[in-house]
A and B are shown apart, each in its own frame.
Chain A
Amino acid sequence: MSIKAQQQDIIEEFDLFEDWMDKYEHLISLGKSLPLIDPQFKTDDYIIKGCQSKVWLHGALEDQYVVFTADSDAIITKGIVSVLIRAFSQATPQEILEANTDFIKAIGLSDHLSPTRANGLVSMIRQMKLYAMAFQTQLNA
Chain B
Amino acid sequence: MVDFNVTKIREDFPILKRTVNGRPLVYMDNAATSQKPQAVIDAIAHYYAHTNANIHRGVHALSQEATEAFENARRKVQSFFNIQAPEEVIFTAGTTQGINTVAHGYRSILDPGDEIIVSEAEHHANIVPWQMLCDLVGTSLKVIPMTKDGPLDQEVYRQLLSERTKIVVVNHVSNALGTINPIKDMIDRAHKVGAIVLIDGAQSSSHIPTDLRGLDVDFYVTSAHKMCGPTGVGMLYGKKHLLEALPPYQGGGEMIKEVTFDATTYAELPHKLEAGTPNIAGVIAFGAAIDYLQNIGIAAIGRYEHELLVYATEALKAIPGLTIYGDGPDKTAVLSFNVSGVHPYDIGTLLDQMGIAVRTGHHCAQPIMDFYQIPGTIRASLAFYNTKEEIDIFINGLKRAASMLST
Contacts and interface: CB of A to CB of B under 8 A. Distances in A.
The finding on whether chains A and B are genuine partners in a shared complex, rather than unrelated, reads: yes
Interface in B336-373: 342-346, 349-350, 353, 360-362
Contact of A28 (B344, B353, B376, B405): B405
Contacts of B350: 24, 76
Interface residues of B, number: 16
Interface in B369-407: 375-376, 404-405
B362 to A, nearest CB: 8
Contacts of A77: 343, 345-346
Interface in A116-133: 118-119
Contact of A75 (B361, B362, B405): B405
Given A52-B361, A52-B376, A24 B404 contact: yes
Contacts of B343: 53, 73-75, 77
Contacts of B375: 52, 73
The A contact surface, by secondary structure, is: helix
A85 B39 CA distance: 50
B264 interface: no
Contacts of A28: 404-405
A141 B342 CA distance: 46
A76 B352 CA distance: 13
Nearest to B353: A20
A96 to B, nearest CB: 27
Given A53-B345, A73-B343, A119-B345, A25 B361 contact: no
A36 interface: no
Interface of A: 20-21, 24-25, 28, 51-53, 73-77, 112, 118-119
Given A52-B345, A52-B361, 13 more contacts: A21-B404, A24-B353, A28-B405, A51-B361, A53-B343, A73-B343, A73-B375, A75-B342, A75-B346, A75-B405, A76-B346, A118-B361, A119-B345
